[in-house]
Chain A
Amino acid sequence: KAGVTQTPRYLIKTRGQQVTLSCSPISGHRSVSWYQQTPGQGLQFLFEYFSETQRNKGNFPGRFSGRQFSNSRSEMNVSTLELGDSALYLCASSLAGEGNQPQHFGDGTRLSIL
């Protein structure tokens, strides 16, 4: 079974631009969550989608948004990029989003802002 796939793996943008990251969950998984990983702040929860609905949201500004499609694939968008948005963005999927199943992570998209 294929794992969680995130594209692209690496991305370089400049301040003020916007970016879209993509995540394909494990087949059959309906819950997709996004996390930001930085050396200073560690791993922080961005949001969770289940059956195309945002179910949970972390403490990030409105520039960070996401969506989930009917095939469970998810995208996250960051607008008006800032230098502090440089990070590894991780996507994770789980079977039913009930909390007692482990999340499976992709290898992430490393976003660098110049």
Chain B
Amino acid sequence: AQSVAQPEDQVNVAEGNPLTVKCTYSVSGNPYLFWYVQYPNRGLQFLLKYITGDNLVKGSYGFEAEFNKSQTSFHLKKPSALVSDSALYFCAVRDKSSGDKLTFGTGTRLAVRP
């Protein structure tokens, strides 16, 4: 069975500093990996995905993520955080045999202080 771990419930960072939100996964075969963001009282918004190819994936709003197969990780990064990045971030995995079923991590709350 596939699973995702987000080890940090909350990440605090100062505006302008780089941020990292961690994610590790477990899946049989090659994974499809996704990051989503959720703002209060809203649904999930797609940020970026890794399907195959280059290990560094660039997404929306300046976010990027690095796929590391040996460490089964897919950490989300941004070089310079904004206060408006404060939200709940979810990592998700989908294996090729499960159709559209996404397995989510527990989420990491990012707080960016001015």
What is the distance, in angstroms, from A42's C-beta to the closest C-beta of chain B?
A: 5
Interface locus among B12-20, B79-87, B90-98? B90-98
What is the distance, in angstroms, from A36's C-beta to the closest C-beta of chain B?
A: 11
| A99 to B105 alpha-carbon distance, docked (Å) | 18
Number of interface residues of A (CB under 8 A): 26
Contact A45-B43, Cβ < 8 Å, known A99-B32, A99-B94, A100-B51: no
**B98 to A56, Cβ gap below 8 A?**
yes
Interface residue ranges of B19-55 to A (CB < 8 Å): 32, 34, 36, 41-46, 49, 51
A8 at the interface (CB under 8 A from B): no
Chain A 73-90 interface mask (CB, 8 Å, partner B; 1/0): 000000000000000001
- Taking CB atoms, residues of chain B closer than 8 Å to A43 are 90, 102, 104, 107
- Given contact pairs A43-B102, A102-B46, A105-B46, a sample of 15 additional A-B residue pairs in the complex whose CB atoms are under 8 Å apart: A33-B101, A42-B106, A45-B102, A50-B99, A55-B99, A55-B100, A56-B99, A97-B100, A99-B96, A99-B99, A103-B100, A105-B36, A106-B43, A107-B41, A107-B43
